[in-house]
Chain A
Amino acid sequence: MGMTMTQKIIAAHGGVDSVKAGELIRVNLDFVLGNDVTSPVAINEFEKAGFDKIFSKEKIAFVMDHFTPAKDINSATLVKRSKEFAQKYGIVNFFDVGTVGIEHALLPEKGLVGPGEIIIGADSHTCTYGALGAFSTGVGSTDMAAGMYSGQAWFKVPSAIKFELTGKPNPFVSGKDVILSIIGMIGVEGARYKSMEFTGDGLKYLTMDDRLCMANMAIEAGGKNGIFEVDDVTLKYVEGRVNRPFKYYSPDPDAEYDEVYTIDLSQIEPTVAFPHLPENTKPVAEAGDVPIQQVVIGSCTNGRLEDMRAAAAVLKGRKVADGVRCIIIPATQDIYRQSMDEGLFSIFLDAGCAISTPTCGPCLGGHMGILADGERAVATTNRNFVGRMGHTGSEVYLASPAVAAASAVAGKIAEPKDIGITDLEYKRG
C-alpha cells in the first residue's frame, strides 16, 4: 500500500522504509520553535527534568511575538526568561522586538523551515509550514522541551484526507475563503488527528501566501497537519531562502485516504465564519446586516504582503466608517518595510487605519485591540471562540483581508462588491 506525503516524510525521518496510519514512531526533528507564552513553560520543564544540553543551536527558535512589545511586567518577564535561556545555550534564532515577526510568517520568510522537513512548535498554528511541503505540527511545551533536548519527537502516523483542488478562484477570493469554506464543510473536528493533503490542478492558482494561510488553519479543522504538494510556486519561494539541501515528497499513486474531496475553486465565494466556531461559515452575501466596531487585519493567518496589498486595494481612496477601529498589523519587519515602500501605509493612514508593529496581540485577546462586552470585530485571524479577542460577550467574525477591509469601510460585514469595487486588482505572488 502506498503512502501519503506526510507518511513519507515521517518514514524518512524515522529511518524506516515505510509507515502506516496508526503506528507510533519516534522521528528526528529538523526544527523546534516556541513563543514568549510557551517557551518559558518549556524552559521550566527542561530545567526541572535536569537537562543541560540542547540538540542544536541553529535548529531551535524562540519567537517573542504574542504579548510583545511587552504589554505588562509579567509579559516582559516571560521574554527575559526566554532570552536568558537562549543566551545560556547559544540559541541563534532568538527574535525579539526589532527583529521579531509573527512566528509562522517569520520562519518561512527566513528560510528556517523547508520542504520535506519535520518541524514541531509549541504553538498550534505550526501547521502553517505544510504550505512548503513540510510535515509541521503544533505540540505543547513539554514536547518542545523534549525536542530541544533530544532533537526527536514521537508521533502516531496520521491517516489523511485528500483535497483535490480544481478550477481558478475569482479575483475576490483568497486562500482564506477556500480554507474557511473547507472548515465549514468538514467541521472543526472533521480532520481530527489527520493530515489534510492539498493537491490538484487548481494549486497553480494559489500563491504561497494563499497556501500559508490555508495550511495555517488546518488545526481549525482538528487536523494534525495540512500539507501542499510541492510545485514551481514552492520551489520559487524557497529559492534563496532555504540554503541547505532538502528532499520533498509526492504522495504515492496508491496512497490510501480516509476521504477525498474535490474542491472547485471557481465556485468558492467570499466567506465569513460567524461566532463562536470557525465552522460556522456562510458566504458574505448571506451574512445579513451585522454592524461592527472593529476590524483587525494581520496575524499568522493573514498578515503577509499579499494580505496588506489586498486590504490596500480595497481601502484606497476610501474611509473607515465612523465608529469603527481598523487595526492593521504587518506580520514581520520585512512585510512592514515592503508595505511602507509600496505606499500601502499612506493608503491605510488616509483611510483612518492604525498600523502596528508585528505582534499576535489582539488575535488571542492579548493586547493591541481588545473588545468590550457586546462589541463585534471582523478579523483576518483564525479563531472566533468565546472571549478569544476580549470580553466573553464580544464576537469575532473571521474573513479574508479583502472582506475585512470592505467591512471596515461599510461599518458592517461586507465584501468588496458591496462598496462598489467591481474588480479587485493587486499584485499577487
Chain B
Amino acid sequence: MQARGTVFKYGDNVDTDVIIPARYLNITDMKELSAHCMEDIDKEFRGKVREGDIMVAGNNFGCGSSREHAPATIKASGISCVIANSFARIFYRNSINIGLAIIECPEAAAAISAGDTVSVDFIKGEIVDETTGQTFQAEPFPPFLQDIIDKGGLLKAIK
C-alpha cells in the first residue's frame, strides 16, 4: 500500500468543527458533504485538493466532536493519508474504523512543508519528502489494528 501526493499543512488542535462544520451535518452523502471540508480554516482546500494528496498537521489533530463525518469527508476529498504529530483519540479510532490512513510521526509532521511532494509506504511505515529528500520512519500499527485496516474497516473485521 502506497500513497503519493502534494501536502496540505495545518497547525495544532485542528478540531472536527473546522474539518466539517456542524451546520452541514444534515447532509448524509459524504461526497456531497466533502464540498465543505476544511472550509472554515482553509477556503482554498476544496479547489486545490487532488486525488491522493496528503494532509500534515501538528498536535491533537481531529479534537472535539466524535463526528465520523470528519475523517469520512477528508477521505472523500481525495486525501490519501494524514500525518500528524498526534491525533485526538476518537478521530484516530474513527479513521481506523472507516479506512482513512493516518500516521503519527512527529519528525515528519515537523519537517514537511506545505506544497511538498510526499510518498508513504504503509507496509514499511516509511515517509519520504521527495521535495527535500528527507526520509522518516513511523511506528507500525499494533497487529490488532492492522487487522482491522487489512480487512477494510471495523464492520468487515467483526463480521
Contact = CB atoms under 8 A, between A and B. Distances in A.
Contact of A41 (B68, B90, B153): B68
Interface string B22-37: 1101111000000000
A150 interface: yes
Nearest to B65: A124
The 3 lowest CB-CB distance pairs between A and B, nearest first, are A74-B26, A140-B94, A140-B68
B68 A149 contact: no
B158 to A, nearest CB: 6
A37 B27 CA distance: 9
B28 A143 contact: no
A222 B69 contact: no
B86 to A, nearest CB: 7
Contacts of B158: 146, 149-150, 152
A93 interface: no
Interface of B: 13, 15, 17-18, 21-23, 25-28, 40-41, 59-60, 63-69, 71-72, 86, 88-90, 93-94, 97-98, 142, 144-145, 153-156, 158-159
A318 B146 CA distance: 60
A74 B27 CA distance: 7
Contacts of A188: 13, 60, 63
Contact of B68 (A141, A189, A387): A141
Interface string A137-154: 011111101100110101
Interface in A267-307: 277
Given A140-B94, A146-B154, A365-B22, A222 B63 contact: yes
A57 to B, nearest CB: 20
A173 B58 CA distance: 35
Nearest to B21: A387
Which of A121, A123, A154 is most buried by chain B, counting CB atoms within 10 A of its CB? Answer: A154
Nearest to A81: B28
A189 B63 contact: yes
B66 A388 contact: no
B23 A366 contact: yes
A411 interface: no
B108 to A, nearest CB: 19
A249 interface: no
A49 B158 CA distance: 10
A383 B64 contact: yes
B21 A24 contact: no
Contacts of A41: 28, 68-69, 72
A50 interface: yes
A248 interface: no
B144 A40 contact: no
A146 B155 contact: yes
A335 to B, nearest CB: 23
Contacts of A142: 68, 94, 97-98, 153-155
Contact of B26 (A78, A192, A387, A388): A78
B128 to A, nearest CB: 28
Nearest to A43: B28
B59 A366 contact: no
Nearest to A78: B26
Contacts of A94: none
B98 to A, nearest CB: 6
A386 B64 CA distance: 12
B63 to A, nearest CB: 6
Given A143-B97, A189-B63, A364-B22, A385 B90 contact: no
Contacts of B27: 74
Given A124-B66, A222-B63, A383-B64, A365 B154 contact: no
A78 B28 contact: yes
Nearest to A360: B22
A224 interface: yes
A146 B23 CA distance: 27
Given A44-B28, A138-B66, A142-B155, A224 B17 contact: no
Interface string A383-404: 1011110001000000000000
Interface string A59-103: 000000011000110110110000000000000000000000000
A189 B86 contact: yes
A148 to B, nearest CB: 11
A45 interface: yes
Nearest to B142: A24
Contacts of A46: 155
Given A222-B60, A385-B15, A387-B18, A139 B155 contact: no
Given A192-B86, A386-B18, 18 more contacts: A41-B69, A41-B72, A74-B28, A77-B26, A78-B26, A124-B66, A140-B97, A141-B68, A142-B94, A143-B154, A146-B158, A189-B13, A189-B59, A189-B86, A222-B60, A224-B89, A364-B17, A385-B15
26 contacts: A38-B67, A41-B28, A41-B69, A49-B155, A51-B159, A66-B25, A67-B25, A72-B26, A74-B28, A75-B26, A139-B93, A140-B67, A142-B97, A143-B154, A146-B97, A149-B158, A150-B158, A152-B158, A188-B63, A222-B63, A222-B89, A277-B13, A364-B65, A385-B17, A386-B40, A386-B41
A237 interface: no
Interface in A100-159: 121-124, 126, 138-143, 145-146, 149-150, 152, 154
A193 interface: yes
B78 to A, nearest CB: 20
